[in-house]
Chains A and B, each alone.
Chain A
Amino acid sequence: MGLRNIIGRRLGLGLVRRRKPFSTATCDGDGNGNAKSINLYSAINQALHIALETDNRAFVFGEDVSFGGVFRCTTGLADRFGKARVFNTPLCEQGIVGFGIGLAAMGNRAIAEIQFADYIYPAFDQIVNEAAKFRYRSGNQFNCGGLTIRAPYGAVGHGGHYHSQSPEAFFCHVPGIKVVIPRSPRQAKGLLLSCIRDPNPVVFFEPKWLYRLAVEEVPEHDYMLPLSEAEVIRQGSDITLVGWGAQLSVMEQACNEAEKDGISCELIDLKTLLPWDKETVEASVRKTGRVLISHEAPVTGGFGAEISASIVERCFLRLEAPVARVCGLDTPFPLVFEPFYMPTKNKILDAIKATVNY
């Protein structure tokens, strides 16, 4: 725990390296009312405050959440809402999720934190065999729809094997849960509130690289952003780029570079990976005739493969080039080799050019 704690704090504090600050070009959040410039962890914190404030059956728990969490997402919650509703749990991910399922099954909003997505695997059985099938196996007599599992995911520059992983594809193979990943503070707040209030169990991965780095104006009021709706965040005509979470900022940089070469890129934030919005991606690819998918997770068996297959099924005759995937390598996430492993701007740019010039 000590190690995780220290690394967590370090990661939180030492984010800035290769990523440029990213802010949403367009935003679904209601622009009216007060909005302050805040970072992503503060947006998560706001959403949790609102969730606890608007539903007295909402609970926030996990390892070290009581003092504010290793990434500060739960700061102030225990003081405001009390130790009975915001509390530390033993260091046991399967216990956290199992406990959350039980809590949710009694009509509560159980907001569980897994300290790093890299440590979610002990809870895999509880998520896959229990949470995901709770409603179905009981014929809708019981459900644990009030469960939301939050977990920081992804590269951070120095996280090595166990503080960098992007395990979303494992969970996208599980009917019965939803998988959601925000790209920015405003998105994070609105999507997290939707996940917490959604009547299905949700795994919500937070891009930890952006916790402090991504800053944008976030409305202070209570708002929700729709799940299973992708968003075109950059209009273009030559190629469609699909991504989610922190990777979108890298992809946007590649789009900007490509534009200098006269290539018009359309960029889509999938936001919800399960169940995902095929229609928005399909409509875009029908327009551009080309698609590139990018994620940090290893390419083989990644969610990009699913998108690729679906688009080929739906747009085969419209495609003017093979589907391109720019993803992590099929290695464990490496420490000193991280710059080589990552789906960087120039890897994406090369793939854009190769696809457009195919």
Chain B
Amino acid sequence: MANWLRISSRTVANHIKKRMNKGFMGGAVHVNQSSGLWWGLNRGGPVSDRNGRHRDPLAWNRATFLCVQRFKSTLAEKQHDSFLSSDSDDDNQSVDFPGGKVSYTSEMSFISESSQTRVPCYRVLDDDGDLISDCDFQQVSKEVAVKMYSNMVTLQIMDNIFYEAQRQGRISFYLTSAGEEAISIASAAALSEQDIILPQYREPGVLLWRGFTLQEFADQCFGNKADYGKGRQMPIHYGSKKHNFFTISSPIATQLPQAAGIAYSLKMDNKKACVVSYIGDGGTSEGDFHAGLNFAAVMEAPVIFFCRNNGWAISTNVSEQFRSDGIVVKGPAYGIRSIRVDGNDALAVYSAVSAAREMAINEQRPILIEALTYRVGHHSTSDDSTKYRQLDEIVYWKKARNPVNRFRNWVQNIGWWSEQQETQLRNSVRKQLLEAIQVAEKTEKPPLSELFTDVYDHPPSNLEEQEKHLRETVTRHPKDYPSDISV
């Protein structure tokens, strides 16, 4: 079991609560300052009585958060029993139904479509970067904390420079992580490099953490011959075998059922590793979200489903995306243990992913994490988000709830980071990036032959024939084709 700390903080809890409560779209979310999950973990057993009868609408949430013992199907059944039953149940009357016993009740009671209060959001740092009192979290070493912060800054600068490069017409497309830097960096920091990543597309921070170089990022965005994807995909569709980071594809949520299959393979090989699959709030509406979570639950596959709920799927607000209390509540319906975390709090994300990883691997089960965050940038360079959302909303999240600033305050207050280091880092990263872009721009494009390779393991005769014809055409009409691709 990891070393979980309980820290007393100077911060006034009510103050944080007030600020966070007005914060998130779709309604106020309560800050869960003393997360019960860690109580359960620290004290070595579930606190709740799984067989108890609850009338409290929050009971099931508590059960979800508190119960850390691996439940078998019968235990799951007991949990449901406790969620749905009331004191008036006739305990002697039950039906032996496939999946477990279900008790009868004479009370016609529909399960409420929602609980009265939203599922609280676990966090460790307040908006000013101070540790919240009585908070359970996984301590990070100075080395890890500094690397986390440095990576967050690097990601910010990379986003700024590549975004500008797109605006200058040097690359065709870009998509920033602005506002969500803590999620990809802190979640990556909590994982082992053997853990396999199935990304959506707004998690380049994971690759950065694992050592994908700025040059490698630039090469992909410029689609040159050093790009592992051989210039075949749009910018930001990174992939790196050596970093256990599967190549990004644009379709939404398709990676989730694949994650279940990969995790099942890890399970069969008795690997001490898990799969982490990222997705946005919009992606949870896709059928593959359902398929992925259900398969992972049924197959007892070690997957962490990490949902970045950033409030917006391009222009579609979460209020137009689903009627549930976000994503976290969907986990229990699949039999998946779930937590909601403040995605702009790097320490909370780190702690939640550390705990999720341990449970996923040790108990061979999927875990769902919903991180509340905000897409501060436009969806991509093809989008202007001021057309559909208020500027003050963007500014609020960019300034008051900035995850990078918040984490900086913490590392700086603790004495691990200084103004001088900040300046040095920013200058150095900027310089490296400008160099990387220059090199990537000068590096030649992949040769024409790469158009035809890798469709299959070997090109079939139709592709050989088409390549031959194409080369003849290019010879006849060289001006029709880009001169920087060697034929």
Contact = CB atoms under 8 A, between A and B. Distances in A.
Interface in A122-147: 122, 125-126, 129-130, 133-143, 145
Interface stretch (B103-111, B285-293, B336-344): B285-293
Given A98-B257, A135-B457, A89 B295 contact: yes
A94 B294 CA distance: 12
Contact of A98 (B228, B237, B258, B299): B258
Contacts of A100: 261
Contacts of A135: 454-457
A133 B268 CA distance: 26
B264 A138 contact: no
Contacts of B256: 98
Nearest to B265: A106
B254 interface: yes
A271 to B, nearest CB: 14
B239 interface: yes
A102 interface: yes
A105 interface: yes
Interface residues of A, number: 46
B117 to A, nearest CB: 32
B141 interface: no
A348 to B, nearest CB: 28
Given A126-B254, A137-B233, A140-B454, A90 B264 contact: no
Interface string B230-247: 101100010111000011
Contacts of A108: 265, 268
B295 A136 contact: no
Contacts of B461: 228, 275, 278-279
Contact of B292 (A87, A98, A200): A98
Interface string A86-129: 01011010110111111111111010000000000010011001
Given A95-B291, A100-B261, A278-B462, A141 B239 contact: yes
Contacts of B454: 135-136, 139-140
A141 B254 contact: no
A107 B268 CA distance: 12
Given A139-B227, A139-B454, A142-B241, A101 B258 contact: yes
B291 A94 contact: yes
Contacts of B254: 98, 125-126, 129-130
A175 B452 CA distance: 11
B251 A110 contact: no
A95 B460 contact: no
Nearest to B242: A141
B288 A98 contact: yes
Given A98-B260, A142-B239, A130 B249 contact: yes
Contacts of B295: 89-90, 92, 95, 98-99
B257 A133 contact: no
Nearest to B258: A102
Contacts of B232: 136-137, 139
B75 interface: no
A16 B116 CA distance: 61
B247 A142 contact: yes
B451 to A, nearest CB: 10
A302 B233 CA distance: 30
Q: Which of A98, A106, A135, A145 has the most CB of B within 10 A?
A: A98
Interface in A210-233: 228
A199 interface: yes
A110 B229 CA distance: 25
A78 to B, nearest CB: 15
B298 interface: yes
B229 A101 contact: no
Interface string A328-343: 0000000000000000
B246 A142 contact: yes
Contacts of A92: 290-291, 294-295
Contact of A103 (B227, B262, B294, B460): B262
A3 interface: no
A139 B453 CA distance: 9
Contacts of B287: 94, 122
B119 interface: no
Given A94-B291, A130-B254, A137-B249, A102 B259 contact: yes
B296 to A, nearest CB: 9
Nearest to B196: A106
B295 to A, nearest CB: 5
A84 interface: yes
B265 A102 contact: yes
Nearest to A141: B241
Contacts of A167: none
A138 B231 CA distance: 10
B237 A137 contact: yes
Contacts of A142: 239, 241, 246-247
B264 A275 contact: no
Looking at A103, A104, A176, the one whose CB has the most chain B CB atoms below 10 A away is A103
Contacts of A107: 265
Given A102-B257, A130-B249, 10 more contacts: A95-B260, A99-B291, A100-B261, A102-B259, A105-B258, A106-B265, A129-B251, A129-B254, A138-B247, A141-B241
Interface of A: 84, 87, 89-90, 92, 94-95, 97-108, 110, 122, 125-126, 129-130, 133-143, 145, 175-176, 178, 199-200, 228, 275, 278-279
Minimum-distance CB pairs A-B, first 5: A102-B261, A98-B257, A95-B291, A275-B460, A106-B265
15 contacts: A89-B295, A90-B298, A95-B260, A95-B288, A95-B292, A99-B258, A99-B260, A99-B291, A108-B265, A125-B251, A129-B249, A129-B251, A130-B254, A137-B239, A141-B229
